[in-house]
């Protein structure tokens, strides 16, 4: 979906159409931009940027608080449309999904035609535009979907793929973020062509297991299948503070609240996990994480909080430096449902206890 | 406040109340223990606002008063003293001098006024139990309490008092343990259900080790337990406990009696070849014989027969050994009786008087 949250706002409030719209926290507070409309992007505003910064870039932009319920509803409608074509849908958040349409329910022979039909149907049902990328693997389909935004459709065929990848900057590759891009640059690797010139062993030495993955994707070989039921890997919660928080007692009481929320989210996801990760961001934006894995699953807010406080105390600086953000996430989740038959069966209570 | 108290009594008292103290709290005073002179005794109290515990110890009072001190640090200091008298002297700046022998500490405290008083229990019912009996009851079922925070009502033990009997129940939805007992004096006409949070159950067990009586006071929302010089008060868990009777089968086709300790030994031995929590041990029953067996692809297999009294048809039932181990460990009886209908329906284990355990067989 193109500029999803912002587009929903512009659809629902005609006075916002054609204007720079920023969905996110209040610009006077310390929230971040969730989505910027294309008009706002012209001012250099992008998602994850502090809203205060966005405000400096474009004071005339309209700042709107997110209405998650509205977005969720649209997202569900779109998902329904996608499932009319195939059940191999791998959602990536609210506004993005991978589809494997090799065999589709409507027996449409070309993936490009499927993409065209889906885009038309989304526009008709939701009044919003979506962009699609078509290719023979996830990596290239994602790249393709970014080529002609908004309201576009691009195709990367097998024939075009090598030339296309060669010209691509490495930072656009899946799994290559800012810091990996910098490390690649230090090795003289800037484009797909540069990356392809390196041997697998050289990349593995520099990047470990990921090196192997880079070696393959740069050859158009992305082995990742579409996973319709992508298993949740972590459950987390984080909070950016209105004003910086200083001192362990204050941070610890915030951890107590975060633990409560994290435990509730684990509960509603029906899972628990063995690893807890604490994330702390100081007011100069330096971000540290500390994590610990227990032998058994962590149950309840108390267990999470005790561990979180322990992790916090491992960061001596936390006691003195102003903190901008704290986060907790639980991973190494219990995957008990994968072997449903081997689980201890429930007693036959008739009501939902 | 100016008091003198034996270090042994202090340590003993702190041991009973220290577990209630939470480290994670938005109220710093909850990290503290409240000390105050009351009726010629030194009263020490901790609380997490849901559960509170007061214990009174003998002391010499030179000057009445009160203070709160960081509980864990206070306990650490007292614990480090040799046996002898400890002097506690509090000054108006909230500093408390703690001295014993040559050692002298000055510890910063917080005012007693900031300390939340425990809930006043509007007594509806009062009932006395023998401490050891009551402690054993809690121990025999406590392991079945659910730790799943999404079903809070199951995070505690149900005390159901009706028609002169009390039933203590714990279940996590996969197994259920209960102990049922007749009450003296027909329970004084008490009729009601009360769900005690796990935290209280755990703390109670520590206080119930010696002989004597515990007086339980119950209200709609709270319970308090008066045990010698201590009072433990707790909120009850709000909500309706599920109808546990419905999972206990009314009739059984088969019954097998097994010596408990030997059975526990064999079960532990056989399950050594299992390496994941979802694995099961098979129970192959034939007249007068039970053979336990287990296997896993990664480790191998194990098998061991037991002499039992069984007269039914040959049948094989599978159980998760983890769910059998707890009752085996916490009972006192010589023989256990397992009653069942077939390999799919709920199975009941009986042992000590009034004890009953229900568990589902595993699908094998």
What is the reported pLDDT for A341? 42
Q: Kindly list the residues from chain B whose CB atom is less than 8 angstroms away from the CB atom of residue A353.
A: 151, 153-154, 173, 242
What is the average pLDDT score of chain B? 92
- CATH code that applies to domain A234-333: 3.30.1490.100
Q: Which regions of chain A carry the CATH code 1.10.150.20?
A: 161-217
B22 contacts on A by Cβ (under 8 Å)? 302
Instruction: Scan residues 299-318 of B and list those with Cβ closer than 8 Å to A.
Output: none
Token digits of residue A343? 């689980």
Nearest CA-CA distance, residue A252 and chain B, Å: 7
- Tell me the CATH number for domain A4-66: 3.40.1170.60
Q: From the CA of A301, how many Å to the nearest CA of chain B?
A: 9
B23 lies within 8 A of chain A by CB: yes
Report the residue of A267, A271, A347, A351 to disrupt the B interface, i.e. the one with the largest count of B CBs within 10 Å.
A347
State phi, psi for B136 to the nearest 5 degrees. Answer: -65, -40
pLDDT of residue A50: 86
User: Does the pLDDT of residue B217 top 80, yes or no?
Assistant: yes
From CA B72, how far away is CA B107, in angstroms rounded?
A: 12
The band of B364, judged by pLDDT with boundaries at 50, 70 and 90, is: low
B247: chain A residues, CB-CB within 8 Å = 347-349
Q: What is the mean pLDDT of residues B307-314?
A: 92
Q: Does B150 touch chain A (CB under 8 A)?
A: yes
Residue A273 sits at the chain B interface (C-beta within 8 Å):
no
Contacts of A159 (CB under 8 A, 6+ apart): none
- According to the model, what pLDDT value does residue A273 have? 86
Range(s) of chain A covered by CATH 3.40.1170.60: 4-66
Tell me the chain B residues in contact with residue A341 when contact means C-beta distances shorter than 8 Å. Answer: 363
With beta carbons less than 8 A apart as the criterion, state whether B198 and B155 touch.
yes
**Which residue is associated with the tokens 């195709």?**
A155
CB atoms B28 and A249 under 8 Å: yes
Helices (H), chain B: 7-17, 71-80, 131-141, 198-207, 260-270, 321-330
Report residue A227: phi and psi, to 5°: -110, 100
Question: How many whole angstroms from its chain centre is CA A139?
Answer: 15
Chain B residues whose CB is inside 8 A of the A344 CB are 174-175, 278, 320, 323, 360, 362
Give B147 to chain A, closest Cα distance, Å.
7
A305 close to B (CB below 8 A): yes
Contact B360/A at CB under 8 A: yes
Do residues B72 and B62 touch, judged by C-beta distance below 8 A? no
Would you say the pTM of this structure is higher than 0.95?
no
| B246 contacts on A by Cβ (under 8 Å) | 348-350
Whole-angstrom Cα distance, residue B294 to residue B257? 21
**Which residues, 6 or more positions from A13, have their beta carbon under 8 angstroms from its beta carbon?**
none
The answer, yes or no, to whether residue B268 has pLDDT greater than 90, is: yes
Q: Is the pLDDT of residue B177 over 90?
A: yes
| A258, A261, A266, A272: CA torsion to nearest 10 | 40
Q: State both tokens at B49.
A: 């606002």
C-alpha closest to that of B332 among B309, B355, B313, B305: B355
Q: Residue B295 and residue B270: Cα distance in Å, rounded?
A: 9
**CATH 3.30.70.270 domain position(s) in chain A:** 69-155
pLDDT digits (tens, 9 = 90+) for B238-266: 989 999 999 999 999 999 999 999 999 99
Top-tier CATH class for A69-155? alpha beta
- pLDDT value at B287 more than 90: yes
SS3 B364: coil
pLDDT for the residue numbered A229: 64
> CB-based contact (8 Å) between A1 and chain B?
no
- Report the catalytic residues of A: 96
pLDDT tens series, chain A, 353 aa: 999 999 999 999 999 999 999 998 788 777 788 899 999 999 999 988 888 899 999 999 999 988 888 888 898 899 999 999 998 998 887 789 999 999 888 889 899 999 999 999 999 999 999 999 999 999 999 989 988 889 999 999 999 899 989 998 998 887 788 888 888 999 999 999 999 999 988 888 888 888 888 998 899 888 788 877 656 778 889 998 889 999 999 999 999 999 988 988 887 666 788 899 999 999 998 999 999 888 777 877 888 998 999 999 989 899 899 999 999 999 988 754 433 445 778 888 875 55
Q: Is B147 an 8 Å CB contact of chain A? A: yes
So what's the pLDDT on residue B297?
A: 81
d(CA A301, CA B25): 12
What is the reported pLDDT for A337?
41
B151, B153, B278 member nearest A342 (Cβ): B278
Query: Tokens 């958040």 belong to which residue?
Result: A93
Query: What confidence tier does B211 reach under pLDDT thresholds 50, 70, 90?
Result: confident
- For chain A, residues classed under CATH 3.30.1490.100 are 234-333
Q: Over the stretch B20-49, which tens digit does the pLDDT of each residue have?
A: 887 766 788 999 999 999 999 999 999 988
Query: Which pLDDT band, with edges at 50, 70 and 90, does B318 fall under?
Result: very high
Quote the minimal CA–CA distance from B2 to chain A in Å.
31
Contacts with A, B 100-139, CB within 8 Å: none
CATH superfamily of A161-217: 5' to 3' exonuclease, C-terminal subdomain (1.10.150.20)
Structure tokens at A319: 């006691």
Pick from B26, B359, B363: CB nearest A256 = B26
Kindly determine whether residue B150 and residue A268, on different chains, have CB atoms separated by under 8 Å. Answer: yes
Flag if A253 and B242 touch (Cβ within 8 Å).
no
Best mutation target among B19, B23, B24 (most A Cβ atoms within 10 Å) is B24
Structure confidence at residue A62 (pLDDT):
94
Q: Looking at CA atoms only, how far is residue B156 from chain A in angstroms?
A: 14
Put the strands of the sheet holding A273-282 in their side by side order. A234-245, A323-333, A273-282, A287-298
pLDDT, position B35: 97
**Chain A, nearest residue to B347 by Cα:** A347
Q: Which SS3 state, helix, strand or coil, does residue A122 take? A: helix
Q: Note the pLDDT of residue A268.
A: 67
């Amino acid at each position: 979906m193109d500029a999803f949250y912002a587009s929903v706002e512009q659809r629902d409030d005609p006075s916002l159409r054609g204007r720079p719209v920023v969905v996110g926290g209040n610009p006077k507070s310390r929230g971040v931009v969730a989505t910027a409309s294309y008009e706002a992007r012209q001012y250099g505003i992008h998602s994850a940027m502090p809203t205060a910064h966005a405000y400096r870039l474009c004071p005339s932009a309209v700042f709107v608080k997110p209405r998650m319920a509205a977005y969720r509803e649209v997202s569900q409608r779109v998902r329904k449309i996608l499932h009319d074509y195939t059940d191999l849908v791998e959602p990536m958040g609210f506004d993005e999904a991978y589809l494997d349409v090799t065999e589709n329910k409507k027996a449409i022979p070309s993936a490009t035609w499927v993409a065209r039909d889906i885009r038309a149907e989304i526009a008709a049902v939701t009044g919003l535009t979506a962009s699609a990328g078509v290719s023979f693997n996830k990596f290239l389909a994602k790249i393709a979907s970014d080529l002609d935004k908004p309201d576009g459709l691009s195709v990367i065929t097998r024939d075009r793929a090598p030339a296309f990848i060669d010209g691509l900057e490495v930072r656009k590759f899946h799994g290559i973020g800012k810091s990996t891009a910098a490390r690649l640059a230090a090795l003289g690797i800037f484009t797909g062509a540069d990356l392809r010139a390196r041997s697998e062993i050289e990349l593995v030495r520099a990047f470990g297991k990921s090196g192997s993955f880079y070696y393959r994707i740069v050859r158009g070989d992305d082995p990742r299948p579409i996973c319709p039921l992508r298993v949740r890997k972590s459950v987390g919660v984080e909070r950016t503070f209105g004003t910086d928080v200083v001192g362990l007692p204050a941070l610890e009481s915030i951890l107590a609240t975060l633990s409560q929320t994290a435990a509730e989210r684990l509960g509603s996801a029906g899972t628990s996990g063995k690893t807890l990760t604490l994330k702390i961001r100081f007011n100069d934006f330096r971000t540290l994480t500390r994590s610990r894995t227990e032998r058994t699953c962590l149950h309840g807010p108390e267990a999470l909080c005790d561990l979180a406080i322990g992790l916090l105390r491992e960061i001596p600086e936390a006691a003195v430096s102003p903190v901008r953000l704290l986060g907790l996430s639980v991973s190494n989740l219990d995957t008990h449902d994968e072997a449903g038959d081997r689980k201890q069966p429930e007693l036959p209570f008739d009501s939902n206890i | 406040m100016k008091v003198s108290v034996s270090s042994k009594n202090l340590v003993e008292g702190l041991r009973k109340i220290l577990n209630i103290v939470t480290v994670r709290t938005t109220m710093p005073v909850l990290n503290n223990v409240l000390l105050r002179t009351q009726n010629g005794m030194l009263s020490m109290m901790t609380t997490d606002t849901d559960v509170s515990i007061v214990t009174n110890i003998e002391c010499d009072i030179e000057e009445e008063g009160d203070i709160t001190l960081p509980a864990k640090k206070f306990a650490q200091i007292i614990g480090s003293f040799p046996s002898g008298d400890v002097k506690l002297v509090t000054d108006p700046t909230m500093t408390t001098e703690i001295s014993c022998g040559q050692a002298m500490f000055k510890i910063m405290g917080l005012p007693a006024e900031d300390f939340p008083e425990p809930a006043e229990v509007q007594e509806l019912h009062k009932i006395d139990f023998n401490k050891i009996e009551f402690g054993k009851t809690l121990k025999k079922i406590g392991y079945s309490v659910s730790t799943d925070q999404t079903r809070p009502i199951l995070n505690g033990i149900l005390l159901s008092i009706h028609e002169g009997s009390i039933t203590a129940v714990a279940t996590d939805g996969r197994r259920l343990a209960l102990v049922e007992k007749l009450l003296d004096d027909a329970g004084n006409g008490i009729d009601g259900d009360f769900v005690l949070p796990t935290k209280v159950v755990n703390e109670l067990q520590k206080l119930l080790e010696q002989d004597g009586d515990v007086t339980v006071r119950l209200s709609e929302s709270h319970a308090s337990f008066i045990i010698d010089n201590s009072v433990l008060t707790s909120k009850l868990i709000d909500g309706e406990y599920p109808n546990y009777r419905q999972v206990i089968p009314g009739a059984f086709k088969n019954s097998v009696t097994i010596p408990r300790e030997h059975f526990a030994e064999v079960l532990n031995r056989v399950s050594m070849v299992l390496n994941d929590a979802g694995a099961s041990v098979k129970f192959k029953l034939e007249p007068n014989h039970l053979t336990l067996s287990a296997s896993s692809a990664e480790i191998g297999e194990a098998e061991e027969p037991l002499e039992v009294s069984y007269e039914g048809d040959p049948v094989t039932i599978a159980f998760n050994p983890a769910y059998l181990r707890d009752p085996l460990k916490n009972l006192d009886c010589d023989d256990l009786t397992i009653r069942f209908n077939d390999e799919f329906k709920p199975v009941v284990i009986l042992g000590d008087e009034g004890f009953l355990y229900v568990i589902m067989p595993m699908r094998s």
